[in-house]
C-alpha cells in the first residue's frame, strides 16, 4: 500500500501537465540547468584561488553579500518548472559553486527548505574552486551513483589517459581518480549522476566547459571527451537515456557542440540512440533568445541536449522530449541604464548589484504516458 501511495504522489508531483491527447494522460518531468555565477562562501578553501571572494578580498565578500546571494539563487531555483509542475523539477544541474557547503546553505534557504532535494557533488581540480553539482528530487529521480570524470587536454604522448575514464572488464565506466597526462588546462570535469527517471535508466552529465579565453580547441576537446563518455555509457547500459547539460561556453552551432559532441538540430537527422539532439538551435537562431548577452548580442551557452531515444516514441510509452524553455522573468534582467535588458548580475564593474547571475536558466520537459 505504501508503495502505491508513493507512486501516486510521485505522479502528482510530476504531472500538472495533465496533458491529454485522445484520452491519454501524460506525466511531465523537468530537467534544468543554471549557472549560479560565483556562488562562493566567505571562507578560504585551502589550495583554491578564492581570495577575491573573502571579506577582505577585491569583492569585499562578507556575510551580508553571501546571504543575499543565497536568497536570490534560492528564489530562482524554487520557481523553475513551477508553472507546469507544482512539485518542481526532477533534476537541476548547476555550475560555478565553490563547494558542498554552499549547496547545503542554499537548500536551507526558506524558498527551498522542505523541498527534500538531495545534493550530488565532488571536489574538483579547478584552480578557482568553481565546480558543478546536481540537485535532485528523490521522489522523481532514483539516484544510484555518481562520479567525476576529469577533463584532459589532449596529450599525444599519453593516449591511454585522454578520455578521463576507462571501461573495466565488465564494461562499466570508471572515472580516473587522479589527474594524469598534460594538466596545462586543468579545469572542471564532467559530473555524471546515474539513476532512474520514471523507472527508466538515465545518466545525467553536468559540465562547465573551458572559458572563451582558452580558445575553441580546448572546448572541442571537451566535446570529444563527453561524446566518448556518452558512447561508453550507452555500451554499459544499452537503451539508456543520456542527458548532457551545462555552460558550454559555446553556442549550438559552434564546433564543440555541432561537431565534437555531434549534436543534431533537426529531429529527422537523429537516427538512433547514439545520436544527440540539440533543441536550442532554433531558440537562438530563429527566435533570437539566448541565456547571456555580450556586446548587445545574445549567446546561448546554457544547453541541455540528449540522445535519440528521447525522440522516437510517438506514443510516449517511454520517456520522450516534450519541450524546452529559457526561464525568463523581468526580475532577472536589468530594467534601466546602459545595460537594460541584460541579465542582472550579482556585481559588475566592481559594483555590487545584488542581482542573480549573468546567465539565465534553461529547462527541458520530458513526458511519459500514465497508465
In whole angstroms, what is the distance from residue 225 CA to residue 187 CA? 14
Question: Do you know the residue count of the chain?
Answer: 371
In whole angstroms, what is the distance from residue 103 CA to residue 101 CA? 5
Q: Domain range for residue 270?
A: 2-369
pLDDT at residue 2 in the model: 46
**Mean pLDDT for the stretch of residues 282-287:** 96
Write the CB contacts of 210 (distance below 8 Å, at least 6 apart in sequence). 151, 185, 187, 218, 219, 222, 249
pLDDT at residue 249 in the model: 97
Per the structure, how many domains does the chain have? 1
Q: How confident is the model at residue 303 (pLDDT cuts 50, 70, 90)?
A: very high
Residue 269 has pLDDT above 70, yes or no: yes
Q: How confident is the model at residue 6 (pLDDT cuts 50, 70, 90)?
A: very low
In whole angstroms, what is the distance from residue 118 CA to residue 56 CA? 33
Mean pLDDT of the chain: 91
Write the CB contacts of 40 (distance below 8 Å, at least 6 apart in sequence). 50, 53, 61, 66, 98, 102, 129
pLDDT at residue 18 in the model: 46
Write the CB contacts of 44 (distance below 8 Å, at least 6 apart in sequence). 50, 51, 54
Burial class of residue 259, CB neighbours in 10 A (0-12, 13-18, 19+)? middle
Mean pLDDT lowest for which of 163-167, 265-269, 319-323, 330-334?
163-167
pLDDT at residue 23 in the model: 73
CA angle 141, 5, 112 (to 5 degrees): 45
Q: How confident is the model at residue 349 (pLDDT cuts 50, 70, 90)?
A: confident
pLDDT at residue 263 in the model: 98
In tens, the pLDDT along 168-187 reads 999 999 998 877 766 666 78
Output the domain CATH number for residue 198: 3.60.10.10
Q: Could you tell me which residue, 154 or 213, shows the higher pLDDT?
A: 213
Beta-bridged to residue 29, according to DSSP, are 366
Residues of the chain above pLDDT 70, percent: 89
pLDDT at residue 338 in the model: 86
Check: CB of residue 117 under 8 Å from CB of residue 66.
no
Q: Where are the alpha helices (DSSP H) in 127-271?
A: 216-236, 255
Residues of the chain above pLDDT 90, percent: 76
In whole angstroms, what is the distance from residue 163 CA to residue 96 CA? 23
Amino acid at each position: 500500500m505504501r508503495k502505491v501511495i508513493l507512486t501516486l504522489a510521485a505522479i502528482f508531483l510530476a504531472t500538472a501537465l495533465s496533458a491529454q491527447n485522445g484520452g491519454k494522460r501524460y506525466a511531465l518531468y523537468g530537467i534544468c540547468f543554471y549557472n549560479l555565477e560565483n556562488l562562493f562562501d566567505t571562507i578560504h578553501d585551502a589550495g583554491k584561488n578564492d581570495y577575491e571572494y573573502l571579506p577582505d578580498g577585491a569583492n569585499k565578500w562578507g556575510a551580508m553579500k553571501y546571504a543575499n546571494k543565497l536568497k536570490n539563487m534560492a528564489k530562482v531555483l524554487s520557481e523553475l518548472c513551477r508553472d507546469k509542475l507544482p512539485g518542481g523539477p526532477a533534476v537541476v544541474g548547476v555550475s560555478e559553486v565553490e563547494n558542498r557547503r554552499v549547496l547545503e546553505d542554499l537548500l536551507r534557504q526558506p524558498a527551498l527548505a522542505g523541498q527534500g532535494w538531495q545534493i550530488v557533488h565532488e571536489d574538483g581540480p579547478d584552480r578557482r574552486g568553481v565546480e558543478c553539482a546536481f540537485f535532485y528530487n528523490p521522489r522523481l529521480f532514483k539516484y544510484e551513483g555518481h562520479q567525476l570524470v576529469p577533463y584532459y587536454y589532449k596529450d599525444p604522448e599519453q593516449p591511454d589517459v585522454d578520455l578521463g575514464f576507462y571501461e573495466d572488464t565488465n564494461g562499466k565506466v570508471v572515472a580516473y581518480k587522479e589527474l594524469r597526462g598534460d594538466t596545462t588546462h586543468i579545469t572542471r570535469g564532467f559530473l555524471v549522476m546515474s539513476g532512474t527517471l520514471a523507472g527508466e535508466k538515465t545518466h545525467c552529465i553536468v559540465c562547465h566547459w573551458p572559458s572563451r579565453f582558452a580558445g575553441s580547441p580546448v572546448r572541442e576537446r571537451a566535446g570529444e571527451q563527453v561524446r566518448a563518455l556518452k558512447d561508453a555509457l550507452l555500451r554499459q547500459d544499452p537503451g539508456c537515456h543520456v542527458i548532457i547539460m551545462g555552460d558550454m561556453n559555446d553556442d549550438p552551432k559552434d564546433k564543440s557542440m555541432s561537431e565534437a559532441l555531434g549534436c543534431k538540430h533537426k529531429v529527422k537527422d537523429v537516427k538512433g540512440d547514439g545520436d544527440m539532439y540539440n533543441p536550442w538551435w532554433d531558440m537562438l537562431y530563429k527566435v533570437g533568445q539566448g541565456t547571456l548577452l555580450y556586446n548587445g548580442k545574445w549567446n546561448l551557452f546554457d544547453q541541455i541536449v540528449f540522445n535519440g531515444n528521447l525522440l522516437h516514441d510517438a506514443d510516449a510509452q517511454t520517456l520522450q522530449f516534450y519541450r524546452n524553455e529559457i526561464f525568463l522573468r523581468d526580475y532577472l534582467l536589468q530594467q534601466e541604464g546602459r545595460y537594460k535588458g541584460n541579465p542582472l548580475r550579482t556585481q559588475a564593474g566592481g559594483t555590487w548589484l545584488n542581482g542573480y547571475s549573468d546567465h539565465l536558466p534553461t529547462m527541458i520537459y520530458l513526458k511519459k504516458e500514465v497508465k
